Amino acid sequence: MNKYDLMQAMTDNHQRFSNYMNILTEKEYLYAQPEKWTAGQQLDHIVRSTKPLILAVRLPIFALHLIFGKANRLSMSFEELVKKYDAKIEAGAKATGNFIPPIIGFDKKESLINELLSIIQKINKGVEKISEEELDLCVLPHPLLGKITFREMLYFTINHVDHHHYIMDKAIQDGLLLH
């Protein structure tokens, strides 16, 4: 995917997730299976995981190179990145630290949705200024995947929201059918 395809996919996937969030009732939004997150916590987690990219797109490229280094390999494809992430999840990897959401009330839904969409706009605005070459040369740290290229981080962000959208929708559908 070129950077414009990446930007469009980020917008589309996060908008689809936000649209889904918007239609959830309070009961659905607050529902969680045992030891799992509510929809509100899923939303907060997505906000927490996308927000650091704002800084990455705002820093000068040379600063990213100084802080994190440069890629010593080619970027993985979207499919390869998803496969690697899925393998980590299947092996038991979970969110840690600041990426773990607190309890999120229904009253926070609208503001979190607006924040998420604003974050995606800011990321896309920054990506527009980064060359295709730099997307494959810059590396960024990922808590589960280690150092990955900027392009791979965008792939992750595109997939991550869909991953949580699927988990949340399945949990709500399965759980509410039982009650």
Maximum CA pair distance of the chain? 55
Mean pLDDT of all residues belonging to the chain: 94
Residues in the chain, total:
179
What are the φ and ψ backbone dihedral angles of 138, each rounded to 5 degrees? -75, 140
Between CA 129 and CA 9 the distance in angstroms is 17
According to the model, what pLDDT value does residue 179 have? 41
Q: What is each CA distance from 148 to 5, 36, 139, in whole angstroms?
A: 19, 28, 5
Kindly report which listed range (43-47, 75-79, 146-150, 163-167) carries the lowest average pLDDT score. 163-167
Report the pLDDT value the prediction gives residue 178, as an integer from 0 to 100: 46
Q: In this structure, which CATH number among 1.20.120.450, 3.40.50.170, 3.20.20.70, 3.90.79.10 belongs to the domain 3-178? A: 1.20.120.450
Say what the pTM is.
Answer: 0.94
